[in-house]
Amino acid sequence: MTTLAEYLEACRLEIDAALESALPRPPACPAVVADAMRYSVTAGGKRLRPVLCLASAEAVGGTRADAMPAACALELIHTYSLIHDDLPAMDNDTMRRGRPTLHVVAGEGMAILAGDGLLTEAFALLAREAPAADPVLARRTLRVIGVVATAAGAIGMVGGQALDLACVTADPEGRLAPPLDADGLRVMHAKKTGALIRASAVAGAIMGGGTEQHIDAIEIAATDLGLAFQIIDDVLDVEGSSADLGKTAGKDAAAGKPTYPALYGVARSRQMAAEGLERARAALDTASLADSRLLQIGRWIVERGN
């Protein structure tokens, strides 16, 4: 059995290769937007969402190849969301994954378009990789498209970003929205980051041919892992340096955004993340999935340093 580090590295190599071949290229795609999309996709990152997707497929008895199109689609969607979130009209971030953000190097208009292109390509990729002749694969793919689009859309990730934006900007009447309380923070994060993380694990379970019991257990576990991920992200934003994070540190607190450490303190926040991990373990255990890479990845999420 390989170590988790070896497993993550093997997954990342496969994901990066699949992403590379999935990206549109000239001459069909104008170079100016192909280059912009590639700049952000190839900037690296943890590839957490696609790794979760592949690990879920394997946990339920499928292969990484079964879930690779979904894994790539999820990373394309995650990357588009970072590009748009970093725009001056949103978080106005100039560094991401250790490089200048896309709008800094390609302009705001092209950054918006590259994000739009990545989001759209995610669905083109999923549809393209499902051979029409295979009804089982067609059914799974359609279900995954529904799961992923719902998680990424206005009731999920886009809605979470809208809540985040609304809590730091004036509304049209010029009043400032009230700061989020603990419940509001939980809802915002459940949408903004939780929904896509959950969808990543669920999509893997579906593409890997998991039973409904598998899929349900993984959905519950991934909900807790998504929350734990966000809590640790907030903690690292407080504790970390920009060099470690590859993005601007302390940004959320400086922007007056609510964070877990601000509401609960660092020690209690870390404890909440550990409790989430334990709930995830229990959920996986109900479907005999606790002895899988999924739980190891959960532990990595909670214990990571960046």
Backbone angles phi, psi at 96, to 5 degrees: -155, 130
Report whether 201 contacts 219 (CB < 8 A).
yes
What character string, x for contact with its own copies (CB under 8 A) and - otherwise, covers 58-97? ----------------------x---x--x-xx-------
Q: Should residue 142 be labelled a site residue for its own copies when binding is judged by CB under 8 A?
A: yes
Q: How far is the CB of 214 from its own copies (least distance, A)?
A: 17
With CB under 8 A as the contact rule, the residue among 8, 19, 37, 54 that binds its own copies is: 37
* Alpha carbons 118 and 151: distance in angstroms, whole number: 16
Stretch of 33-41, 93-101, 208-216, 284-292 lying at the interface with its own copies (CB under 8 A): 33-41
Report whether 225 contacts 277 (CB < 8 A).
yes
Q: How far is the CB of 127 from its own copies (least distance, A)?
A: 3
Q: Should residue 176 be labelled a site residue for its own copies when binding is judged by CB under 8 A?
A: no
The residues facing 170 across adjacent strands are: 176
Q: Compute how many residues bind its own copies; rule: CB under 8 A.
A: 60
Name which of 45 and 69 has its Cβ closer to its own copies.
Answer: 69
Enumerate the H helices of the chain as residue ranges: 4-22, 31-41, 48-59, 64-85, 102-106, 108-128, 135-152, 157-166, 182-189, 195-207, 212-239, 242-245, 251-254, 260-264, 266-286, 293-303
Distances (CA, A) of 132 to 70, 138, 139: 17, 7, 10
Report whether 196 contacts 160 (CB < 8 A).
no
Angle (CA) 274 275 280, round 5°: 95
Q: Should residue 246 be labelled a site residue for its own copies when binding is judged by CB under 8 A?
A: no
Name which of 128 and 268 has its Cβ closer to its own copies.
Answer: 128
Distances (CA, A) of 155 to 77, 99, 243: 15, 31, 33
With CB under 8 A as the contact rule, the residue among 32, 65, 176, 182 that binds its own copies is: 32
What character string, x for contact with its own copies (CB under 8 A) and - otherwise, covers 107-136? xxxx-xx-xxx-xxx-xx-xxx-x-x--x-
Name which of 116 and 275 has its Cβ closer to its own copies.
Answer: 116
Q: Map tokens 């378009």 to a residue.
A: 113
Name which of 13 and 170 has its Cβ closer to its own copies.
Answer: 170
Which residues bind to its own copies, rule: CB under 8 A? 24, 28-30, 32-34, 36-37, 80, 84, 87, 89-90, 105-110, 112-113, 115-117, 119-121, 123-124, 126-128, 130, 132, 135, 138-139, 141-143, 145-146, 149-150, 152-155, 158-159, 161-163, 165-166, 169, 171-172, 191
